[in-house]
A and B are shown apart, each in its own frame.
Chain A
Amino acid sequence: MTTSEPTIVQRPVVAEQSAAGPANPAVVYETNDLAVFYGAFKAVRDVNINIHQHEITAFIGPSGCGKTTVLRCFNRMNDLIDIARVEGKLLYHGIDLYDRAVNPVEVRRRVGMVFQKPNPFPKSIYENIAYGPRLAGLAKKGSALDEIVEHSLRQAALWDEVKDRLNDSALGLSGGQQQRLCIGRALAVNPEVVLMDEPCSALDPIATGRIEDLMEEIKKRYTIIIVTHNMQQAARVSDRCAFFTTEVNEVSDTRTGMLVEYDTTDKMFSNPSDERTENYVTGRFG
């Protein structure tokens, strides 16, 4: 692995300025040669990315290229896996997120997450939203909590559908509704960043459309990073786009994910610098 450094690292992957791109708002995350290991296995390496405030950043790439693994670094969700280990630097507002002094619980309060499969708690719709704010001490009960629940459900574009049955079980909702509930649950603790791990992969096109509209709406207040297998989705919703791919190590017969190119979505889909990106976005590969 150390002997064959890929050519891609030689030139700067991070496109700070792009003629066609949006103006550069504040940087929320900055990674420097970020790599993630599962035990001795290097899952993904050499990730250099800046995530900008109030933008939607999409991670695209074939299966197994480490998109989700990288995403789960951003709120230290990988901590839940015993053997996962992170190398390199991951700065959040200039703070090393993996510093010993950093409390992962506090990180996850500021950086919410929506998962691939809707995972509402087996509680009522109300309790699903109220769960986070209660633990965070934002509101314990009564009208203050009611307000947070309503506001979160409205942000998640779910309020009108559920306002008359807030005490019904969340498990009775449809898949698309459950996923919007999970988005509302993430927004209820007032995070700064929302990580979305293929949030639409289990949903039909109509539900997907609603969630994409929702993302467009909430990005004014939040910074969003989304992992998606759906290139049209990345092209539709994202401002910037990172393309990952896998590289086979013939000696150990393992695959390591790596970042190929990161730029504004316009550039990535119209005129990418790397041939592999072009092959992927035009459907010739992956």
Chain B
Amino acid sequence: MAATAPHITTEMVQARLKGQKADVSGAIFKYLLWACLGVVLISLIALIYSVSGEGLEKLNARGLLNFMNAPFSIRPERTGVYQGIVGTVTSAVIVALVAFPLGVCAAIYLEEYASDNWFTRLVDVVTRNLAGVPAVVYGLLGLAIFVRGPLEGLTGGRSVLSAGLTLAVLALPIVIITSAEAIRAVPQSLREGGYGVGATRWEVTRTLVLPNALPAILTGTILALARALGEAAPLLLVGAKDSVFSGGDWGDLRGDFTALPSIITDWSTRPAENWNASTQAAILVTLAIVLGMNTVGILLRNRFDKKK
């Protein structure tokens, strides 16, 4: 080596290796990332802080269970979110039952069965656009189809069933996109291994592709569910009613209903000052429910992940 590169000495190598040359752009990028994380955390903390003052006080004074079990009342000191919890949990179940199987099946079709042609590419683009459509548009869709449209007979009009189906349609594009991405991430060599021993397409999909994609599919579904449950606009359009008549019977899918986001919207617009604390308490309950659902989802995902 000395003959070909006589100018390199041990001292030079040592000096090079030890010399600290600052990686300026790398450092800037790192701090930028920290800043992004900071913005997200600060917004979350600010949100919790702004509702936790009066809201927590309210919950302490009333008792969490009392607040959660009390139905709506025109007197803010007696009102509760019971009907909202029933509506939100019921619509969550409907969204999960409708959007998850439909979305996963659509994704399987697009990724495993359909050939790559102009039609599937069009479907892909349309689905991505649908995921970005404002929620209020889905509310109008729900109003036209589930509440007043051809399915009124099934849903009973302004019902929790209409709301759940509308939210399911809203969540569907997100479920399809994330499921398709999860399925695409399964290595092709795994599929080939299955086909190589004479598995059919369905057998490869069922025994190899889906089990491997399931954790990521569940993650996507949870995110879609959380987004759908947080939407108030579609609920208002399909007729969430915040009153003493707002249903609240478990299993009454076709009757009057309300849900937590529409309760928050309604209470926050009431002029009287003493509704503020109740609104904040309702927000805390909503956050807790969404957090609880996410936790269940993550636990499920981890379970499937370990099975692998």
Please give the residue numbers on chain A whose beta carbons come within 8 Å of chain B beta carbons, in ascending order.
75, 77, 80, 82, 105-106, 108-110, 112-115, 117, 119-122, 131-132, 135-136, 182, 185-186, 188-189
Contacts and interface: CB of A to CB of B under 8 A. Distances in A.
Nearest to B114: A82
Interface of B: 115-116, 187, 189-200, 203, 207-208, 212, 308
Nearest to B117: A82
B197 A119 contact: no
B198 A189 contact: yes
Given A77-B195, A121-B194, A131-B197, 13 more contacts: A80-B192, A82-B115, A82-B116, A108-B198, A112-B197, A113-B192, A114-B196, A115-B189, A115-B196, A119-B189, A132-B198, A135-B198, A189-B197
Q: Is the interface of B mostly helix, strand, loop or mixed?
A: helix
Contact of B193 (A105, A120, A135, A189): A120
Given A106-B198, A188-B197, A131 B189 contact: no
24 contacts: A75-B196, A77-B195, A80-B191, A105-B199, A106-B198, A108-B198, A109-B197, A113-B196, A115-B192, A117-B189, A119-B187, A119-B190, A119-B193, A120-B193, A121-B190, A121-B194, A131-B197, A131-B207, A132-B197, A132-B198, A132-B199, A135-B203, A136-B198, A186-B196
A182 B196 CA distance: 10
A177 B199 CA distance: 23
Contacts of A122: 190, 212, 308
In the A-B complex, the 4 residue pairs with the smallest Cβ-Cβ separation, listed nearest first, are A109-B198, A132-B197, A113-B196, A119-B189
A113 B196 CA distance: 5
B234 to A, nearest CB: 39
Nearest to B211: A122
B113 to A, nearest CB: 11
Given A82-B116, A122-B308, A182 B193 contact: yes
Contacts, number: 66
Nearest to B192: A115
A185 B198 contact: no
B299 to A, nearest CB: 21
Contacts of B199: 105, 131-132, 135
A139 B189 CA distance: 25
A77 B189 CA distance: 12
A9 B240 CA distance: 78
Contacts of A82: 115-116
A117 B196 CA distance: 14
A168 B197 CA distance: 21
A135 B206 CA distance: 12
A178 B203 CA distance: 22
A119 B189 CA distance: 6
Among the interface residues A110, A112, A117, A119, which one has the most CB atoms of the partner chain B within 10 A? A119
A112 to B, nearest CB: 6
Given A82-B115, A82-B116, A119 B200 contact: no
A112 B196 contact: yes
A115 B193 contact: yes
Contacts of A121: 190, 193-194, 208
Nearest to A110: B198
B285 to A, nearest CB: 41
Given A121-B208, A122-B212, A186 B192 contact: no
A77 B194 CA distance: 11
Contacts of B187: 119
Given A82-B116, A189-B197, A119 B192 contact: yes
Contacts of A132: 197-199
A73 to B, nearest CB: 14
